[in-house]
Structure 1
Amino acid sequence: MATATANKPLTVAELCAELGISRSTFYDWRQKGRAPRCLKLPNGDLRIRRTDFDRWLNSLEDAH
């Protein structure tokens, strides 16, 4: 069952809570092309795959 939860895409609220940012910051990043890849559902809601989120986070690591 834990695997199903791990594969469940994140909502914008879950992503914002995990990063400690506001929704407006997320949407600002998205507008500037700096947010992780998103899935747009037919109702307009966004979801973020955990794998895309992890890949995006890893890309932000400072090499120093």
Structure 2
Amino acid sequence: MAAREHLTVDQVCAELGVARSTFDDWRAKGRAPRCIKLPNGKLRIRRTDLDLWLESCLEAA
């Protein structure tokens, strides 16, 4: 994968196996990965930001 890959919200939801409404809820509560809002209003998520966010979700066993 490209180091500067930008994912759509649909791609992130598919990868995480969650509904768009779940992602929107996380975002409204400040719990989603960092997003980039484009001038057209669409959102993009950097691959690196998604990976960092996933790491922050790890729980100790």
Bigger helix fraction: 1
Normalised TM-score (structure 1): 0.89
Match of 2:47 in 1: 50
The reply on whether 1:34 has 2:31 as its aligned counterpart is: yes
Gaps of 5+ in 1: none
Gaps of 5+ in 2: none
Question: Which structure has the larger Rg over C-alpha atoms?
Answer: 1
List aligned pairs for 1:13-32, cutoff 5 A: 13-32=10-29
CA distance in 1, matches of 2:60, 2:18: 23
1:63 CA displacement: 1.2
Normalised TM-score (structure 2): 0.93
Query: Which aligned segments of 4 or more residues in structure 1 are displaced greater than 4 angstroms?
Result: none
Percentage identity across aligned positions?
66
